[in-house]
Amino acid sequence: MIASELAPAKINLTLHVTGQRSDGYHLLDSLVVFTEIGDTLSARKLQGLSLSITGPESAGLGAGADNLVLRAARLIGASDLALTLEKCLPLASGIGGGSSDAAACLRLVARLRGLAMPTTRAVLGLGADVPVCLTPRTCRMQGIGEAVTPLPTLPSFWLVLVNPRVEVPTPKVFRALAQRDNAPMPATLPQWRQADDLFEFLAEQRNDLQAPACQIAPQITQVLQALSGTGGCALSRMSGSGATCFGLFASQDAAQQAEAALKAAYPGWWVAATGLVAAQYSRATT
């Protein structure tokens, strides 16, 4: 039997940098959602532990021992599994691809082998975004990534994700951040009944890493402007430390029209229209 697990893209609808610890780790406050599109990790029984990588975005990603999927597999005690990662999300793009892949590996192995999940502290050793990816659902992420609070289902809306194929190293973005003690989101988040209510709230929030990332990679500004110029885009913003940006749309039709227009105008960009991931994100096939 071959079992598989979706590793959905992680989108930071907001990302407030609220402080910095003495050990250098930054404190964050972020509204996080996960999308229908993502990578897929599959496993079949085979002696030893191995990883192969396929997919349209696999170029440049090594399958050596330092790959996050194999590190996650070793952390949970996996053995006698041949893992295959179908890479569909751009590398190092601010949408949690590697972290989501690692979290998918932990879920998949736990399900197949009946193993307990590692502790949050151990999972943080894989990366600050891995804990929030363990259960891909709408949540509020705080601290350095260890404090994850599930939130009610959001009103229905669609996103268009755009990556201009430029590298924006996360450490460089944080070093360029002018202020590290910014205001968090409200202590109690509203209950949004309609997409417009959510969009209005998000417009009042921030991604504090967007400005320094745009300084490092001006192409991000071009992406944000291109998204804003499409019909029906309520808000455009960068996710994570970039370079992927998102546009928010009230309808699937508007999002798909924007996707088509951007692909035609910018054939070198990675562009994808998507909804939010459903509650059931794992699957098994024979």
The percent of residues in the chain predicted with pLDDT above 90, rounded, is 95
Is pLDDT of 132 > 50?
A: yes
Is 129 part of the annotated catalytic residue set? yes
Secondary structure class of 92 (helix, strand, coil): coil
Residue range 62-85: mean pLDDT, rounded: 97
Q: Write out the CATH class of domain 158-274.
A: alpha beta
Is pLDDT of 158 > 70?
A: yes
Q: Supply the mean pLDDT for the chain.
A: 95
Would you kindly state where each structural domain of the chain is located, as residue ranges?
A: 2-150, 158-274
pTM of this structure? 0.95
Separation of CA 132 from chain center: 9
Active-site residue, selected from the candidate residues 29, 39, 101, 129: 129
Residue type, 114: G
Could you give the C-alpha distances from 173 to 84, 116, 205, in angstroms and in order? 32, 36, 19
* Rounded distance between C-alpha atoms, residue 71 and residue 79, angstroms: 12
* Rounded distance between C-alpha atoms, residue 54 and residue 263, angstroms: 23
Q: Detail the DSSP E strand segments found in 107-152.
A: 139-143, 147-150
* Residue range 164-222, pLDDT digits in tens: 999 899 999 999 999 999 999 999 999 999 999 999 999 999 999 999 999 999 999 99
- Show the CA angle centred on residue 92, arms to residues 63 and 33, nearest 5°: 110
Q: Write out the CATH class of domain 2-150.
A: alpha beta
Residue range 85-110: mean pLDDT, rounded: 97
Active-site residue, selected from the candidate residues 10, 29, 39, 101: 10
pLDDT at residue 278, rounded to an integer: 73
pLDDT at residue 280, rounded to an integer: 42
Is 10 part of the annotated catalytic residue set? yes
